[in-house]
Amino acid sequence: MERIDIHPTHESNGFKLRRGQPYPFGATIVPGGVNFSIFSSHATSCTLVLFEKHAPQPMAEIPFPEEFRLGNVYSMVVFDLNYEEIEYGYRMDGPNNFQQGHWFDKSKILMDPYAKIIGGRDVWGVTPNWDDIYQHRARLAFDDFDWEDDRPLEIAPEDQIIYEMHVRSFTRHPSSGVKEKHRGTFAGMRDKIPYLKELGVNAVELMPIYEFDEFENSRPNPQTGEMLYNYWGYSTVGFFSPKAGYAATGKFGMQVDELKALIKELHKNDIEVILDVVFNHTAEGNEMGPTISFRGIDNKTYYMLTPEGYYFNFSGCGNTLNCNNPIVRGIVLDCLRYWAAEYHIDGFRFDLASILGRDPWGAPLANPPLLESLAFDPILAKCKLIAEAWDAGGLYQVGSFPAYGRWGEWNGKYRDGIRKFLKGDTTVGEMAQRLSGSPDLYAWAGRAPATSINFITAHDGFTLMDLVSYDGKHNEANGENNNDGGNDNDSWNCGWEGPTDNPGINALRHRQIKNAVAMLMVSQGVPMILMGDEVGRTKYGNNNTYCHDNGLNWLDWTLLEKNADLFKFFKHCIAFRKAHPVLRNTWHFENRDYVGSGYADITWHGTQAWNANWSAHNLTLAFLLCGKHAKQGREPDNYVYVAMNMHWKAHWFEIPGLPQGMQWHIFANTGANPGEDSWKPGTEPLLENQSGLLIGDRSVAILVGK
């Protein structure tokens, strides 16, 4: 039988209407029409504005009848809309008083914050019509993708190996080998899944893919005239929409399907999808920025404001989203639930997440309601939640981010510690902490090793090749006189600044890269590698390439051949990690034998077995993992011994003995010739001298006892 509530009760401008459902917010396709619902705490009236797709002027404006308002929510069903061919927005009327924080202006057409598709930047890089009265145009999406039996993979956190990447940069370079029409898109990325599979990673972390405006703050480089863009996209226009310009089908408005097809295919290949989400600020920028949505709908609710009405700028990007306001909290939760449920997303990494723990006046909260809500949400219950545990306002929370037993952290201290050790100037005491899952940061709070997202490089900062090729940043191409980007790179150029023909320096650089990934892959916690590091990608010393749509960001696939030795080494190290549960423990080491093997779970060594040298200037360290303690004794494994020599001289390392019947095999030795510096797990050759080995200058060796 037909429902009785699907018939119009009102009419306006020839459109048939009915009182809508306030929930869900946004525009929802319902029998016979579309339900529009939007809220504002301070608006006095609201008008729905309808456009035909791409039309310069609206085709209709329909004021919400006052009797359709419930609380602060305006909702209305409009019947007989050709919903594939329309765009919609709102006009809001209300007070306009800067000091009080109100920016209502009914001359502006506002985008729905819950828009599921946003038009206006349909094809990447096409200069927008700046005279258009409605720049970012809300559209309707179908939620009926054919997922078959797909669902998020729920890989155990400690088993993850994350690949941080940028969708456009991954395949935009002509050398990517994907069809020209697919370059730089979700479809292009899907074509390259076999590469990710071969490398062995089981999670991709996508730099922002929510709709953003690459033309925000776009400008020509004062030196070269080349256009600089908002290329990375850390500035959200719409939290519910995939970036149209990242879809080869964006011009047909089919980005939702294209992205879902990518995710489904990644899942089929056992690769999870983590989104880098930016909830700390929006694309509306500072007081001079454009009015896109939030500012015109409810400025005072959505943004943190000073008593004078200005924007607080904890993000370094002009404004700060008011995340612990209950209304904003609601939209963040709605957003993440939508992506988890509708797009089968496996996890989220929160950009400048410490902002999410500030109260509406900017003070850090001990018990931030937003972080708590996300941690305990039933829909997000199996999603990975990863914090970038600092912000641009000086709050640094690595080790102290409010976690509720759920939140992981980008471990900035891991990055800094490993970098210093690599170049020969940290203490082995700190290294011991970083290699064993940073128990100094997490164990005391009852947080697992997988809390620690271990990384040496990420999109911010040098690539791994640049970390060993440059002492200082070279950001001139960004047009800010080399003033942007961090100065605390902890890098070392190995003897020459930038590219060189010197074979000795190049060999050392390759060895240092291998040392880095070797340490990363034997560390407890979750390793994350930066796109392209596996093939020695360079950004020519630029450590802040946020604005470049060119070779500074695009992955050059010819490197795969040029640096084949690096790729092979990465591949082997990843495979080794996957083969050995002893490297992926669920809980921290106890430094004792709790399974009766005669060995403690971890023991520390130096050039002498059983005798680590913890003195401040020592640059050698080794450790032994007892395989019988793997995953707390649940998954018996081989024994693994790792020796690190960051000294500029070779050292003889005495190796601890194995239980009767086992022998040491050599999996990797970065000091050996390429071709013999790593072995496919399972094919490791027997170590000739079972009592010790010579480890060359600045080299790492990994042995497996079986």
Partner 1 sequence: MAFDATLETTDHIAKITLSGELDASTAPAFKSKVEEAAKGDVTKLVLLMQDLEFMASAGLRVLIFAKQKMGANVDIYIVSPQETVMDTIEKTGFHHSVIVTDTVPTA
Binding site for partner 1 (CB under 8 A): 82-85, 142, 144-146, 148, 181-182, 185-187, 190, 247-249, 252-254, 257-258, 260-262, 264-265
Residue 691 CB neighbours (<10 A): 11
CB nearer to partner 1: give 145 or 554.
145
Compute the least distance from the CB of residue 56 to partner 1, in Å.
21
Compute the least distance from the CB of residue 144 to partner 1, in Å.
6
To the nearest 10 degrees (0 to 180), the angle between helices 428-435 and 412-422 is 130
- Contact between 374 and 380 under an 8 Å Cβ cutoff? The reply is yes
Residue 128 CB neighbours (<10 A): 15
CA distances from 643 to 369, 566, 691, 695, 703 (A): 45, 20, 13, 8, 8
CA distance 605 to 669: 17
Length of the chain counted residue by residue: 706
Compute the least distance from the CB of residue 138 to partner 1, in Å.
16
Q: Give the amino acid at 623.
A: F
Compute the least distance from the CB of residue 124 to partner 1, in Å.
14
Compute the least distance from the CB of residue 178 to partner 1, in Å.
11
CB nearer to partner 1: give 190 or 511.
190
C-alpha count within 13 angstroms, C-beta hemisphere, residue 285: 11
Residue that the structure tokens 């899907």 belong to: 190
Q: Give the amino acid at 598.
A: G
CA distance 608 to 496: 34
604, β-bridge pairs? 623
CB nearer to partner 1: give 259 or 389.
259
Neighbouring residues of 9: CB distance < 8 A, sequence distance ≥ 6: 17, 18, 19
CA distance 331 to 39: 11
Residue that the structure tokens 């930016």 belong to: 278
- Contact between 441 and 507 under an 8 Å Cβ cutoff? The reply is no
Could you list the beta-strand ranges (E) of 171-237.
203-206, 210-211, 219-220, 227-228
CB nearer to partner 1: give 82 or 107.
82
Region label for 220, one of left (φ > 0), alpha (ψ between -120 and 50) or beta (otherwise): beta
CB nearer to partner 1: give 188 or 527.
188
To the nearest 10 degrees (0 to 180), the angle between helices 294-302 and 326-343 is 120
CB nearer to partner 1: give 131 or 144.
144
CB nearer to partner 1: give 145 or 653.
145
Q: 211, 272, 351, 466: which one is catalytic? A: 351
CA distances from 634 to 158, 574, 587, 624 (A): 14, 22, 12, 18
* Diameter over CA atoms, the chain: 90
Compute the least distance from the CB of residue 553 to partner 1, in Å.
23
Burial class, 450, CB count within 10 angstroms (exposed 0-12 / middle 13-18 / buried 19+): buried
CB nearer to partner 1: give 254 or 365.
254
CB nearer to partner 1: give 186 or 195.
186
The encoded tokens of residue 270 equal 């056992």
CB nearer to partner 1: give 192 or 706.
192
Q: What's the distance, Cα to Cα, between the start and end of the chain in Å?
A: 70
Compute the least distance from the CB of residue 70 to partner 1, in Å.
31
Compute the least distance from the CB of residue 596 to partner 1, in Å.
51
Compute the least distance from the CB of residue 270 to partner 1, in Å.
16
Residue that the structure tokens 């929370």 belong to: 397
Neighbouring residues of 544: CB distance < 8 A, sequence distance ≥ 6: 460, 461, 473, 475, 478, 484, 485, 486
The encoded tokens of residue 297 equal 């709908």
C-alpha count within 13 angstroms, C-beta hemisphere, residue 394: 2
Q: 388, 391, 409, 466: which one is catalytic? A: 388
Compute the least distance from the CB of residue 391 to partner 1, in Å.
38
Compute the least distance from the CB of residue 120 to partner 1, in Å.
18
CA distance 526 to 48: 47
C-alpha count within 13 angstroms, C-beta hemisphere, residue 279: 29
Q: Is 388 annotated as catalytic? A: yes
Residue that the structure tokens 């709790």 belong to: 594
CB nearer to partner 1: give 206 or 643.
206
Q: Is 351 annotated as catalytic? A: yes
Catalytically active residues are: 351, 388
